[in-house]
Amino acid sequence: MHMSVSAVSRTIQRLEDELGQRLLERDNRSVRLTGAGHEFKEYARNAIDEWQQLRRKLGSDEDLAGDVSLYCSVTATHSVLAPILEAFRLTHPSVEIKMHTGDQADGISRILAGQDDIAVSSRPSQLPRRLDFLPLLQSPLQFCAPAADCAVRDMVLAGDFRGGDIDWNNIPFIVPERGVTKETLDAWFRQRGIRPHIYAQVAGHEAIVAMVSLGLGIGIAPQLVIEASGMADRVELIGVQDSLPPLTIGLCSQGQRLASPLVKSLWDVARQTYSGQV
C-alpha cells in the first residue's frame, strides 16, 4: 500500500471514529474484522465497483482495470483455470488476478463470507440463494486403491467390487473432511448400510490420492485430480457396482458480485472457454 503501519492505523481509527463502531479486534498476535468491519468491507468493495463503472460510463476509463480475487485448489489452477486465464489476459491485460489456493471444499464458504470474488468449486446438491454457479466440466468420482503390493491391496483383490461381494466395513478408507465429495460418499454408504472403517479424514483430494498411493487405504477422488496428481501410476482405479455420480465443476460467485464488470468479464470468458462441455 506504500503506507507506514502508523498511517494505516490512523486511517482505520478515523473510520472507526466516524462510524462509531470498531472495525477491527486486536490482540498481541492477530488482527481480525468485527461484524461491523465485515459490513464495511462489503460496502467498500461495492463503492469501488460503482466508482469504476461510473468512470467507464463517462468515458474516462476505456479498458477494464483493477483486480479480481480468485480461489481454487492447486489442481484447478492448471486443470481448470489455465485456459480461462490465458484467454482473459489477452482480452483484459490490465486486470490483475489475485489467486488464493487451498481445499476446494472451502470455496463456497469463502465466497459467502466475501473473502473472494470467484471460486472454482464442485456444485453442491443445494446451492445457496445468494450464489450463482457456472458449470464448466464434469469429472467422474473414482474409487482408487494402492497399485503397490500391500495389505490394503490384498484386501481389495480378495473381494469382488463389481459384484458387491466385499467386506466394506473392514477396508480402511481415506475420506475428505468436508465438501461435496464427502456428502456424496456419505450418502453412498448410507444407501448400502455400510459403516466404513475410516483410517483418516483429510483436506483436499490431492491428499487422498497421496495417502492411497502410500498404501494406507482406499479413497475417492475426481479423475482429473488423479490424472494431474503425478501419482496416477501409483494408484489403481476400482470399478465399483453402482458407481458414484460425477462431480460438476465450475465457478461460483455471489450474484451481487457479478454486477462488477471486472468479475462479470472473467465469468463470461470462462463461459466461452468451456462452451458445450457440460
pLDDT tens per residue across span 236-251: 988 777 788 899 999 9
- Higher confidence at residue 252 or residue 160? 252
Q: Are both 263 and 207 inside the same structural domain?
A: no
Cα gap 164→199, rounded to integer Å: 21
Residue 61, pLDDT score: 45
Q: Are both 145 and 236 inside the same structural domain?
A: yes
Cα 216 to the center of its chain, rounded Å: 25
Give the cell for residue 67: 483486480
Is residue 219 over pLDDT 80? Answer: yes
Q: Are both 75 and 95 inside the same structural domain?
A: yes
Q: Could you list the residue range(s) of the whole structural domain that residue 81 is in?
A: 63-138+248-278
Is residue 163 over pLDDT 90? Answer: no
Lowest mean pLDDT among 17-26, 37-46, 164-173, 255-264: 164-173
Residue from 157, 72, 79 nearest 107 by CA: 72
Cα gap 176→64, rounded to integer Å: 39
Residue 161, pLDDT score: 54
Residue 52, pLDDT score: 67
Half-sphere exposure at residue 71, Cβ-oriented, CA atoms within 13 angstroms: 22
Q: Are both 125 and 258 inside the same structural domain?
A: yes
Give the cell for residue 241: 457396482
Q: Are both 216 and 160 inside the same structural domain?
A: yes
Lowest mean pLDDT among 56-60, 87-91, 194-198, 233-237: 56-60
Confidence band of 59 (pLDDT split at 50, 70, 90): low
CATH number of the domain at 17, please: 1.10.10.10
Residue 11, pLDDT score: 87
Residue 158, pLDDT score: 79
Is residue 258 over pLDDT 50? Answer: yes
Q: Are both 236 and 153 inside the same structural domain?
A: yes
Q: Are both 52 and 101 inside the same structural domain?
A: no
Q: Are both 258 and 131 inside the same structural domain?
A: yes
What is the helix (H) or strand (E) element at residue 64, kind and residue range? none
Residue 243, pLDDT score: 80
CATH number of the domain at 125, please: 3.40.190.10
Residue 239, pLDDT score: 79
What are the phi and psi torsion angles at 33 (to 5°)?
A: -75, 140
Q: Are both 239 and 147 inside the same structural domain?
A: yes
Length of the chain: 278
What is the helix (H) or strand (E) element at residue 210, kind and residue range? helix 205-213
Q: Are both 195 and 268 inside the same structural domain?
A: no
Mean of the per-residue pLDDT values of the chain: 86
Confidence band of 214 (pLDDT split at 50, 70, 90): very high
Q: Are both 129 and 260 inside the same structural domain?
A: yes
Residue 166, pLDDT score: 65
Residue 278, pLDDT score: 61
* Over residues 252-269, mean pLDDT: 91
* Over residues 210-217, mean pLDDT: 93
How many structural domains is the chain composed of? 3
Cα 112 to the center of its chain, rounded Å: 12
Residue 140, pLDDT score: 92
% of residues, the chain, pLDDT over 90:
45
* Over residues 158-167, mean pLDDT: 61
Question: Cβ–Cβ contacts within 10 Å for residue 151, how many?
Answer: 11
Cα gap 89→140, rounded to integer Å: 30
Residue 192, pLDDT score: 84
Q: Could you say which of 9, 43, 59 is where a domain stops? A: 59
Cα 11 to the center of its chain, rounded Å: 34
- Higher confidence at residue 146 or residue 275? 146
Q: Are both 211 and 231 inside the same structural domain?
A: yes
Confidence band of 205 (pLDDT split at 50, 70, 90): very high
